[in-house]
């Protein structure tokens, strides 16, 4: 080991004294991505991190040097190259031996759609990357168009009458790559979320975290209601809080009460669901099916449906 390498390897990682997201950033008031970054910062603690941010609201928020809003080294990338750029930086970090954890912080457009090829490739090669998708269920930065993360029934600028197709199951897609660790985070359940961030940062190989991130601009909801909306999504069963290890072992971290009232409130507090007229019963049927699948995958005994 050269003298330079030895010096870098033994340098202690500085403690995080400042928040990861600095005040004065360009995010809209009440942005769920901002809240997700605050939770993420609590999980980072003293760890040395480097961020890769593909095109998104997060890339705009990161801003130009030296006035960046993020208190960590950041590389911006094109929509499709986030996971590939993170792969390169992770390999450099490993060569340097300084313990830097490379984190790709991407929106749903850069994950579910345009970034899927490089994401799938990095996951399949088990690159040493933590990939975080903040999912606001639209292309927030380019005018609020539908993505494959947009739920059925939601109006967007190019599906004004409401999207017809169901949302992709991104955790199942990543689990099919048998990634080391995949989990969903709720900004309304910060203890569970911080635990998962720490676990993901301290695991080697490819890891994936999914965060439901309310977007008051696109969801047409009150900025103050972001955390409450996620709480309602969890309570109703719409947003399951789970983790999957090695693509096989699925753990349900939070058992919802499947409240009909919570589901109706979740839908009524966002004007994006008004035009399609999709009923809460229709959502409830999809939720019930999803939870039958989750319970089966978690190894719980699921009684067979009775005929007749
Ligand atoms: S458009 Fe949505 S995701 Fe983008 S900064 Fe505003 S609230 Fe956040």
CA 140 remoteness from chain centre: 14
Ligand 1 centroid – CA 270 distance (Å): 15
pLDDT at 9 over 70: no
Atom of ligand 1 nearest to the CA of 30: 7
Taking residues 276-293, report their average pLDDT: 92
Q: Which of 27, 62, 105 gets mutated to test ligand 1 (max ligand atoms within 8 A of its CB)?
A: 27
Kindly indicate the confidence band of residue 17, based on its pLDDT and cuts at 50, 70 and 90.
Answer: low
Per DSSP bridges, beta strands 74-77 and 49-54 are parallel
User: Cβ neighbours of residue 24 under 8 Å, at least 6 residues apart?
Assistant: 69
Asked whether the beta carbons of 173 and 216 are under 8 A apart, the reply is no
Q: Check residue 24 and report its DSSP letter.
A: T
Taking residues 188-193, report their average pLDDT: 97
Ligand 1 contact via 57 beta carbon (within 6 Å) = yes
Rounded Cα–Cα distance for residues 161 and 158 (Å)? 9
Kindly indicate the confidence band of residue 300, based on its pLDDT and cuts at 50, 70 and 90.
Answer: confident
Rounded Cα–Cα distance for residues 285 and 229 (Å)? 20
Rounded Cα–Cα distance for residues 240 and 294 (Å)? 9
pLDDT of residue 56: 96
Structure tokens that stand for 160 in this block:
């004004």
Rounded Cα–Cα distance for residues 146 and 121 (Å)? 24
- Residue 84, classed as helix, strand or coil, is helix
Where do the domains of the chain lie, and which CATH numbers do they carry? Answer: 32-298 (3.40.50.970)
Rounded Cα–Cα distance for residues 82 and 281 (Å)? 38
Q: Check residue 159 and report its DSSP letter.
A: B
Q: Which burial class, exposed, middle or buried, applies to 87 when counting CB atoms under 10 A from its CB (0-12, 13-18, 19+)?
A: buried
pLDDT at 122 over 70: yes
pLDDT at 234 over 80: yes
Taking residues 272-278, report their average pLDDT: 93
Asked whether the beta carbons of 119 and 82 are under 8 A apart, the reply is yes
pLDDT of residue 2: 44
Residue nearest to atom 2 of ligand 1 (CA): 215
Ligand 1 centroid – CA 50 distance (Å): 22
Using CA of residue 53, residue 55, residue 56, residue 58, what is the dihedral sign? positive
pLDDT of residue 67: 84
pLDDT of residue 277: 85
Rounded Cα–Cα distance for residues 146 and 306 (Å)? 38
pLDDT of residue 307: 46
pLDDT at 89 over 60: yes
pTM to 2 decimals?
Answer: 0.92
Ligand 1 centroid – CA 292 distance (Å): 33
Q: Which residue has the higher pLDDT, 65 or 103?
A: 103
Residue 125: count of CB within 10 angstroms of its CB: 14
* Average pLDDT of the residues of the chain: 92
Ligand 1 centroid – CA 141 distance (Å): 7
Per DSSP bridges, beta strands 181-185 and 242-245 are antiparallel
pLDDT at 1 over 70: no
pLDDT at 6 over 60: no
φ and ψ at residue 249, rounded to 5 degrees: -85, 105
Q: Which of 62, 156, 217, 224 gets mutated to test ligand 1 (max ligand atoms within 8 A of its CB)?
A: 217
Asked whether the beta carbons of 134 and 105 are under 8 A apart, the reply is yes
Which residue, among 96, 58, 95, has the nearest Cα to 77 in the 3D structure? 58
Kindly indicate the confidence band of residue 65, based on its pLDDT and cuts at 50, 70 and 90.
Answer: confident
Taking residues 35-60, report their average pLDDT: 96
Residue nearest to atom 8 of ligand 1 (CA): 31
Ligand 1 contact via 35 beta carbon (within 6 Å) = no
Atom of ligand 1 nearest to the CA of 213: 3
Condensed to tens digits (0 to 9), the pLDDT of residues 243-265 reads 999 999 999 999 999 999 999 99
Ligand 1 contact via 69 beta carbon (within 6 Å) = no
Ligand 1 contact via 216 beta carbon (within 6 Å) = yes
Ligand 1 contact via 159 beta carbon (within 6 Å) = no
Ligand 1 contact via 27 beta carbon (within 6 Å) = yes
Ligand 1 centroid – CA 112 distance (Å): 17
pLDDT at 3 over 50: no
Ligand 1 centroid – CA 115 distance (Å): 19
């Amino acid at each position: 080991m050269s003298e330079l390498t030895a010096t870098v390897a033994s340098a202690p990682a500085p403690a995080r004294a400042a928040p990861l997201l600095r005040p004065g950033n360009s995010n809209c008031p009440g942005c769920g991505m901002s809240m997700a970054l605050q939770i993420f910062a609590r999980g980072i603690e003293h760890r040395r991190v480097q961020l890769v941010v593909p095109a998104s609201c997060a890339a705009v928020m990161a801003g130009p040097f030296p006035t960046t809003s993020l208190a960590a080294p950041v590389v911006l990338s094109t929509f499709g190259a986030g996971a590939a750029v993170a792969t390169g930086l992770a390999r450099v970090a490993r060569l340097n031996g300084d313990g830097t954890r490379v984190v790709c912080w991407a929106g749903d457009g850069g994950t579910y759609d345009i970034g899927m090829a490089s994401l799938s490739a990095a996951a399949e090669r088990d690159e040493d990357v933590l990939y975080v998708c903040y999912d606001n269920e639209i292309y927030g930065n380019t005018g609020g168009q539908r993505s494959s993360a947009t739920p059925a029934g939601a109006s967007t600028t190019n599906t004004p009458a409401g999207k017809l197709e169901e949302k992709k199951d991104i955790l199942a897609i990543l689990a099919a790559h048998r990634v080391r660790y995949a989990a969903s985070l709720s900004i309304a359940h910060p203890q569970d979320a911080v635990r998962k961030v720490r676990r993901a940062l301290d695991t080697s190989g490819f890891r994936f975290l999914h965060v439901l991130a309310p977007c008051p601009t696109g969801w047409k909801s009150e900025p103050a209601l972001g955390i409450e909306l996620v709480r309602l999504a969890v309570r109703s069963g719409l947003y399951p809080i789970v983790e999957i290890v090695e693509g096989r072992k699925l753990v349900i971290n939070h058992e919802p009460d499947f409240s009909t009232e919570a589901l109706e409130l979740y839908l009524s507090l966002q004007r994006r669901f008004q035009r399609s007229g999709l009923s809460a019963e229709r959502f409830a049927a999809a939720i019930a099916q999803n939870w039958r699948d989750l319970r089966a995958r978690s190894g719980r005994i699921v009684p067979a449906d009775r005929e007749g």
